[in-house]
Amino acid sequence: MSKVIMVTGGSRSGKSVIAEQKAKEYGKRSVLYLATAIPIDDDMKERIRMHQERRDPEWGTYEGYRDLGEVVKNTEKNTILLDCVTVMITNILFEEEERDFDKISASEVEKLESEVIKELTNLVKAIRDEDKTLIIVSNEVGMSIVPSYRLGRIFSDISGKANQVLADKLKADLMRSSPRPSGAGTSTEEESEYMAFAKRSGKAKAQANEAAAKVMDYYK
């Protein structure tokens, strides 16, 4: 049965290490690493090198961020590790060098968001169709202060929507694979874990919103 695991958190919080551990747990050496990063500067090159050195040499690697669903369909590896959604979104946003994010229209932003969601939806569908395991790494960007510049807000909104879509698909998978027995008063272990995570996330977001509100009150 196919499985989708999402690993999320702040920047440099150890997401990739956890995802790689999960990939090794589920796939052993039958893992395909979907690397979305483009080495545009020395810092990114160094980060890519560190990631490469951590990987099992038997793992396969695909470097790219488009048509990943087709990549999944054409590999014999049974576990897929996507690292990461956030970089994939950045790449899609900057595919057109002449794009001016200060003047970009709402319809253009909506089109970019749709492209991102389509890529992720096709990837998850391929995982289900091919009965594989997918481990996704994605940054949490919605619990900080709203960016003051347009590009930052666009990026944050699209990233948040992408994470929301992925989380909804994970929740649907949990409900489908672990249905509550008829007449039962308690949820399954998987449902309990999901609800506990949701409560922690909701509490953290509420605390962040409360802190932001206090800051706004201070400057009134």
Secondary structure in 3-state letters for 21-36: HHHHHHHCCCEEEEEC
Residue 82 in contact with residue 34, Cβ under 8 Å? yes
How much is the average pLDDT of 129-144? 89
pLDDT at 177: 59
pLDDT confidence band for 43 (50 / 70 / 90): confident
Average pLDDT, the chain: 81
pLDDT at 213: 43
pLDDT tens sequence across 165-187: 998 877 766 666 554 444 444 33
What is the C-alpha to C-alpha distance for residues 142 and 155, in angstroms, rounded to an integer? 10
What is the C-alpha to C-alpha distance for residues 212 and 220, in angstroms, rounded to an integer? 13
pLDDT confidence band for 2 (50 / 70 / 90): confident
Q: Which of 3, 24, 47, 51 is catalytic?
A: 51
**Which of 111 and 54 is assigned the larger pLDDT?**
111
pLDDT tens sequence across 15-24: 999 999 999 9
Label residue 142 exposed, middle or buried (CB < 10 Å: 0-12, 13-18, 19+): middle
Please give the helix or strand (H or E) that residue 215 lies within, else none: helix 189-218
Please give the order of strands across the beta sheet that includes 60-63.
3-9, 133-139, 79-83, 31-35, 60-63
How much is the average pLDDT of 2-12? 88
Is residue 189 pLDDT above 90, yes or no?
A: no
pLDDT confidence band for 122 (50 / 70 / 90): very high
Residue in this structure with the two tokens 């560190």, named with its chain if needed: 50
Residues whose CB falls within 8 Å of the CB of residue 175, separated by 6 or more in sequence, listed in order: 191
The model's pTM is 0.76
Tell me if residue 140 is catalytic.
no
- In the chain, count H helices and then E strands: 7, 5
